[in-house]
Amino acid sequence: MRTTKEIGDEGEEMAAAYLHEKGFVILEEKWRFGRVEVDLIAQKGNVISFVEVKLRKNAWAGQPWEFVTTSKQRSIIKAADRYVQWKVNFDPEIRFDVVSIIHNQEYTRIEHLENAFYPTL
């Protein structure tokens, strides 16, 4: 039986390939700031997307994107702020996306939710 980490890694690989096909350049995978991990950081033009990836076998308990908690969103936003301060030398548009994947033996469905959540003041 595969571990949760192995399943998560598979989802992140699928999401990275999907985004690459959509014209994104993957800047970082599993980028860490303290205890927070941002699954993918991708760029397309002047837009840098901080991407949370959620993979499930089915949607019986809800869509994968529904499991991105408010707490997780806040953590990603904080990490994104640091990433931009430390690693970006231009003024990008910042976006927070979710790649939601349902993957099982019967089918694979990948949804890219752009602007899935926003920073709040």
Q: Which helix (H) or strand (E) holds 29?
A: strand 25-33
| Residue 116 and residue 78 in contact, taking contact as beta carbons nearer than 8 Å | no
**Domains of the chain from N-terminus onward:** 4-69+89-113 (3.40.1350.10)
Q: Phi/psi zone of residue 30: left (φ > 0), alpha (ψ -120 to 50 degrees), beta?
A: left
Q: Which amino acid is at 39?
A: D
pTM of the model: 0.92
Tens of pLDDT, residue by residue over 73-119, are 999 999 999 999 998 888 899 999 999 999 989 999 999 999 999 98
Tens of pLDDT, residue by residue over 54-80, are 999 888 888 889 999 999 999 999 999
**Angstrom distance (rounded) from CA 56 to CA 51:** 16
